[in-house]
Structure 1
Amino acid sequence: MRIRRLAYCLPLMLLMSCESVQTTQGGAVGVQRNQYMVSGLSSTEVDRMAAESYQEMLAEARSKNLLNTDAAMLKRLRTIADRLVGEVDHFRPDARSWDWEVNLIKSDALNASCMPGGKILFYTGIVDQLKLSDDEIAQIMGHEIAHALREHGREAISRAYATQMGTQVIGSLLGLGDGARQAADLAVQYGLTLPNSRANETEADLIGLELAARAGYNPEAAVTLWQKMGAASQGQPPAFLSTHPSSSGRIETLRGNIAKVRPLYEAAR
């Protein structure tokens, strides 16, 4: 189990310092924020845990006959992903060699994700219900890929140890038995499943905007996408929106950066 393995190594990691890193280059959109990571928690380990979790999700969907049931939509998603991944070296050259994977789950959920290491997952509901164009899908996928490129999951795990929650985790980890495993589970949940910070979300929006433009997808689709998301969020927000900033605020930010990436889009057409 990935959680159990992490439980064994976290006590040593917690004794190590954090380090300031830049996981990506700034790009035309200028993402330059320094990130702080626990020095003993490698991206390789986080990628491995994420890959195991991803395979578990696929296995569950497969057992219910919900995995990759729409061949046409899956082909569409993988074509868009190939174009976006072809541009990741502008931010992070080593990401071109990641073990990228794209799968589709039949579900009404308005959701999509890219786990650390390049494991992309879309739900049919977000494409069907919002009637997304390829340009709009590229904005969502680019946003999620950006989270992986920036290692926001590893950053969030590291941040957990600098918070009150982290203090509680440390106390449990230095104990024995099930307490250590439960605390490790909590730390991984914090890093891989709970909401990203607003700063991280803005970074993902901007890097996603540039990735899509470089791949030849219209950056104006970022505005129409979030207008659709805003309409869908009336009442109970869909899963994809529940951990994200308001649509109106992010639309303003995206509009303010479209001019930076429009020449890249024009060059790619």
Structure 2
Amino acid sequence: MTKFKHLAACLSLFAVLGTSHVGTAVAQDDRNTTVQDGIKVRPLSRLSKFVPAEQLNEAAAQQYAQMMSQAQQKGVLLPASHPEVQRLRAIAQRIIPHTARWNQEATQWQWQVNLIDSKDVNAFCMPGGRIGFFTGILNSLKLTDDEVAAVMGHEIAHALREHSREKMAKQGLTNMGARVGGALISGIFGIDPGITGTIANYGAQFAGLKFSRDDEREADLVGLDISSRAGYDPRAGIALWRKMAALGQRAPIELLSTHPGGETRIKEMEAHMNVLLPLYARAKGTTVAKLPPYRTNVTLR
């Protein structure tokens, strides 16, 4: 499963199309924050005009399809009839209608949700709405539906706010072009051994891609916004990251390596409950005052 883990680490944007104008665009990109729905966010990057969404999403779709095909061949892609797959897709079906408020292009995305049988404690959402979960994150953390929604919302939010595209452009990697995506797939799965060394170098760069604290903050809050509107308790986000921290103390987990944890992000979530809880209460047809305390299903020590 190491191959799948490495691939998932770089799924978000290894197909970005390069341009010689990216450096200028980064310098001119205005990232002043605005407040939307009570959440402070930065405008979507101006770099998007240099990375056509259609081409990006097409490349992401091809690579996602290849990953799922490889997983199926290895017998680790769980079928649509599997209860956990049905659970994930049902949660996504409730969340997706609320995504367009953060990125209008999401209405055109070809959403997909799949589950790979792996011990990796991880999940991802590629450009264009291709979602992947690993059974490890469901089993190790014993996630409730609300907590699954918090994870899913977080990963979807990264795609909605185009964090990967911006990050890759700022690192000057966009000149790799769409060909890198196909080459990376080939290298990881041994289709073309001749390119292994080159692709390993690219893979190391992609695997090292970490979102900034601002990106993580946006993903946390935007993710909880869309999950709250879908009727999932935003307090699950706090429980989720406390579970993550507890599990991480016993054994390092990949999701924590790319998603900085700590009490700071939990405090940010707590500080926005005055915005998030009314959304959840409204979705449930009640008021904040009548909401019961949130209870997770396990305590990690």
Kept in 1, the 8 Å contact 2:115–2:133? The answer is yes
Structure 2 residue corresponding to 1:233, chosen from 248, 253, 257: 248
**Distance in 1, Cα, partners of 2:210 & 2:273:** 26
Q: Is 2:259 aligned against 1:251?
A: no
Post-superposition Cα deviations, 1:102-134, rounded to whole Å, max 9, x if no partner, equal 000001111000011100000111111211000
Cα displacement (A) at 1:38: 6.3
**Distance in 2, Cα, partners of 1:38 & 1:145:** 18
**Distance in 1, Cα, partners of 2:67 & 2:40:** 31
> TM-score if structure 2 supplies the norm length?
0.73
Corresponding position of 2:223: 208
**Distance in 2, Cα, partners of 1:96 & 1:37:** 21
Q: Is 2:141 aligned against 1:130?
A: yes
- How many residues are matched? 247
Corresponding position of 2:60: 50
Kept in 2, the 8 Å contact 1:153–1:191? The answer is no
**Distance in 1, Cα, partners of 2:219 & 2:99:** 13
- The 5 Å alignment of 1:75-114 reads 75-114=86-125
Q: Secondary structure at the residue paired with 1:89? A: coil
Amino acid in the other structure paired with 2:77? L
Distance of aligned partners of 1:159 and 1:266 in 2 relative to their CA distance in 1, 3 Å threshold: same
**Distance in 2, Cα, partners of 1:222 & 1:168:** 37
Kept in 1, the 8 Å contact 2:118–2:136? The answer is yes
Identity of aligned pairs, percent? Answer: 37
Cα displacement (A) at 1:93: 3.0
Distance of aligned partners of 1:11 and 1:133 in 2 relative to their CA distance in 1, 3 Å threshold: closer
Amino acid in the other structure paired with 1:242? S
- Superposition CA RMSD, Å: 3.2
Q: Secondary structure at the residue paired with 2:115? A: strand
Gaps (5+ residues) in structure 2? 1-14, 177-197, 285-301
Kept in 1, the 8 Å contact 2:18–2:174? The answer is no
Structure 2 residue corresponding to 1:10, chosen from 5, 18, 26: 18
Structure 1 residue corresponding to 2:74, chosen from 50, 64, 69: 64
Distance of aligned partners of 1:253 and 1:11 in 2 relative to their CA distance in 1, 3 Å threshold: closer
Distance of aligned partners of 1:142 and 1:78 in 2 relative to their CA distance in 1, 3 Å threshold: same
Distance of aligned partners of 1:84 and 1:168 in 2 relative to their CA distance in 1, 3 Å threshold: closer
Kept in 1, the 8 Å contact 2:18–2:175? The answer is no
Structure 2 residue corresponding to 1:242, chosen from 231, 253, 257: 257
Cα displacement (A) at 1:193: 6.9
